[in-house]
Copies of this chain bind each other. A is one copy, B any other.
């Protein structure tokens, strides 16, 4: 077993950061009685509603099965509604869901941003964004040609 590569060190940092910031974010969002994953889904619905489940699944990069269960939970909490239109199901926010999202939106974005604003300058954040964009696009490409 040879030594750690630069790439594997970056990978570890990114993985750890994602895990930690997710935990902190879930803790933060508890005041709105919502999780990070749910916030993500609600955001996408509010942007694209009315939207089908399969389209939504693609937007949040989750499988059909994953989105099905997630929506079941959100529906149970009364945040979204599914309507059987023809043979597909159309998703939209309920008033309760819309309210919850509006309440959480600014706070959550500020919270997410704080991770970077606290540790990097504006210039460095721009650099990080451009580097991560390229890395992420590359992995997206790898996903599609499987």
Contact = CB atoms under 8 A, between A and B. Distances in A.
A23 B143 contact: yes
Interface string A129-142: 10111111111101
Contacts of A127: 127, 131
Interface string A103-133: 0011001101111111110101111110111
Contacts of A140: 16, 20
A31 interface: no
Interface stretch (A6-14, A72-80, A86-94): A6-14
Contact of A139 (B10, B20, B109, B124): B20
B23 A125 contact: no
A2 interface: yes
Given A13-B133, A136-B17, A113 B143 contact: no
12 contacts: A6-B116, A11-B113, A13-B135, A14-B132, A18-B18, A20-B61, A20-B140, A23-B143, A24-B139, A24-B143, A118-B138, A128-B135
Interface of A: 1-2, 4-11, 13-21, 23-24, 27, 61, 101-102, 105-106, 109-110, 112-120, 122, 124-129, 131-140, 142-143, 146
